[in-house]
Amino acid sequence: MTAFIVPLVVMNGFAVVIYALIMVLKTYVAAYGNCSLVVNGSRTFTVMGGTYLNKALFENKIYLPSACGGKGTCGFCKVRVTEGVSDPLPVEEILINYKDIRQGYRLSCQTKLRAGISIEIPEELLSIREYKGVVKSSNNVTRDIKRIGIRIDEPKEGLDFKSGQYLMFKVGEDETRAYSIASTERRADEVQIEVKLIPNGLGSSYLHSLTEGDELTFFGPYGQFYLRDTSHKVICVAGGVGLAPMKPIIFETLMKYPNRDVELYYGVRTFEDLYDHDLFIRLQANHPRFHYFPTLEQIGESAASAYPFTKGFVNKTLAENLTDGDRSEAYLCGPPLMINSSIQALLAKDVPEIRILYDKF
Ligand SMILES: Cc1cc2nc3c(=O)[nH]c(=O)nc-3n(C[C@H](O)[C@H](O)[C@H](O)COP(=O)(O)OP(=O)(O)OC[C@H]3O[C@@H](n4cnc5c(N)ncnc54)[C@H](O)[C@@H]3O)c2cc1C
Ligand code: FES
């Protein structure tokens, strides 16, 4: 009897091990083999099947934006799949509109390569580069916002950007976060960002923890939110740390366009949350084409004695002060509620919808 049972048990055990091995191989290796990835019809890469599209692109030095670390919640990594498109996932149907879904748009962080695939991405994303830098300075500008100066070490040519654009900072193993370029002085080898600390926030806590000499990796420059080359009056509307990208926009307009007026509508909760207030007061005194409208939700005694602030929300200040809306273009940056109410105020003042640009965060 034992003579039969032992080989049977051994054979069964062997079969289980083989089966388990096949399952592992099927899951991780053998199922897809190598796949071809064609980008914009001109670049072809061979990538290991089973890899997510965003990772495959990253490994080939194509850096798509991402504000959620590939969790499928930001929608930034959207690409158009022209060949090899798969059925949309529920999360894609939430983040991508129906028309785009039908045209093949998918989230690259949710797209696993199982066979050859062709995609289209905006041409400008092909010129996004990886940068290495070192923290040169880190200073509090309010109780929860830090201004971080970064010296760019690699590549040696430094960074070229359009006023209003942002960078993606590596803040964890597979995590990146977006931060607008806040530099008032345009230098290729240095850049400034302003970061508001979000309680338990991965990216903002990491950036706040950095001190002089710490190394940083970032990618960019990204974004369609940048100063347009027109003759329109520039209306900047900022909420809190949304002031960051306004500074390059304001300074470039004043320096480059002798006939364009600039108005800054800047809203924060209290006097303590306001920063660069003195800078804008000085700018207003020295530039007749610059007008500054700071707005506080709450005005305490110290604020009331410091400046004739408007009390309320920025949409109210816009409604009370904006003129020549039809000859203006607007740049908005800040929390979604502020942006939505300010857009309504701008439309009511005849600013054409097509000339209203915004970054919500
Ligand atoms: C184009 C763009 C430009 C940006 N520019 C800047 C900038 O210049 N300066 C800047 O400080 N931020 C900027 N942000 C926001 C930034 O990218 C991060 O989203 C922010 O710093 C929070 O990231 P975190 O990793 O610290 O928090 P996470 O770890 O991502 O989030 C932690 C928790 O906080 C919540 N949370 C996230 N954001 C907020 C918030 N604002 N208020 C309250 N709760 C929140 C999340 O829902 C989550 O529950 C920008 C975003 C975009 C899309
Ligand atoms: S949805 Fe955020 S990276 Fe893909």
Name the residue of 53, 62, 74, 89 whose CB sits within 8 Å of the most ligand 2 atoms, as the mutation to test its pocket: 74
Instruction: Find the 198 Cα to ligand 1 centroid distance in Å.
Output: 7
Nearest CA to ligand 2 atom 1: 72
Single out the residue of 347, 359, 269, 248 nearest to residue 314, CA to CA. Answer: 269
Instruction: Find the 194 Cα to ligand 2 centroid distance in Å.
Output: 23
Nearest CA to ligand 1 atom 44: 198
**DSSP secondary structure code for residue 22 in this structure:** H
Question: Residue ranges of the alpha helices (H) in the chain?
Answer: 2-25, 53-59, 90-95, 98-102, 202-209, 246-256, 277-286, 301-306, 314-321, 336-348
| Ligand 2 nearest-atom number relative to CA 67 | 2
Pairing mode, strands 129-140 and 145-154:
antiparallel
Predicted pLDDT of residue 174? 83
| Ligand 1 nearest-atom number relative to CA 177 | 17
Hey, what amino acid is at 171?
V
Hey, what amino acid is at 98?
Y
Instruction: Find the 272 Cα to ligand 2 centroid distance in Å.
Output: 34
Contact between 143 and 272 under an 8 Å Cβ cutoff? The reply is yes
Contact between 125 and 188 under an 8 Å Cβ cutoff? The reply is no
Look up residue 161 and give its two tokens: 């950007």
Length of the chain as a residue count:
361
Opening angle at CA 194, ends 229 and 58, nearest 5: 75
Instruction: Find the 192 Cα to ligand 2 centroid distance in Å.
Output: 25
* Strand ranges, E, within the chain: 34-39, 43-48, 78-83, 105-107, 117-120, 129-140, 145-154, 166-172, 175-180, 190-196, 215-222, 233-239, 262-268, 290-296, 310-311, 328-334, 356-360
**DSSP secondary structure code for residue 187 in this structure:** B
d(CA 183, CA 358): 19
Nearest ligand to the C-alpha of residue 338?
Answer: 1
| Ligand 1 nearest-atom number relative to CA 361 | 51
What is the mean pLDDT for each group of 10 consecutive residues in the chain (361 residues)? Answer: 58 62 55 90 95 96 91 94 96 96 97 96 96 98 98 96 97 92 93 97 97 98 96 98 98 96 97 96 96 95 89 96 97 97 97 96 89
Collapse the DSSP code of 200 into the 3-class scheme (helix H, G, I; strand E, B; otherwise coil) and give the result.
coil
Single out the residue of 77, 65, 69 nearest to residue 222, CA to CA. Answer: 65
Look up residue 347 and give its two tokens: 């439309």
Distance of CA 83 to the CA centre of its chain: 28
Hey, what amino acid is at 332?
L
Nearest CA to ligand 2 atom 2: 74
CA distances from 190 to 52, 148, 180, 262 (A): 33, 11, 14, 25
What tens digit of pLDDT does each residue of 263-307 get? 999 999 999 999 999 999 999 999 999 999 999 999 988 888 889
Name the residue of 204, 225, 249, 275 whose CB sits within 8 Å of the most ligand 1 atoms, as the mutation to test its pocket: 204
- What is the set of domains in the chain, with CATH numbers? 34-125 (3.10.20.30), 128-222 (2.40.30.10), 233-360 (3.40.50.80)
- The pair phi, psi for residue 342, each rounded to 5°, is -70, -35
Entry pTM: 0.90
Instruction: Find the 213 Cα to ligand 1 centroid distance in Å.
Output: 24
Q: Any residues with Cβ below 6 Å from ligand 1, and which?
A: 67, 166, 177-180, 193-196, 198, 200-204, 241, 244, 359, 361
Nearest CA to ligand 1 atom 46: 201
Predicted pLDDT of residue 7? 61
| Ligand 2 nearest-atom number relative to CA 65 | 3
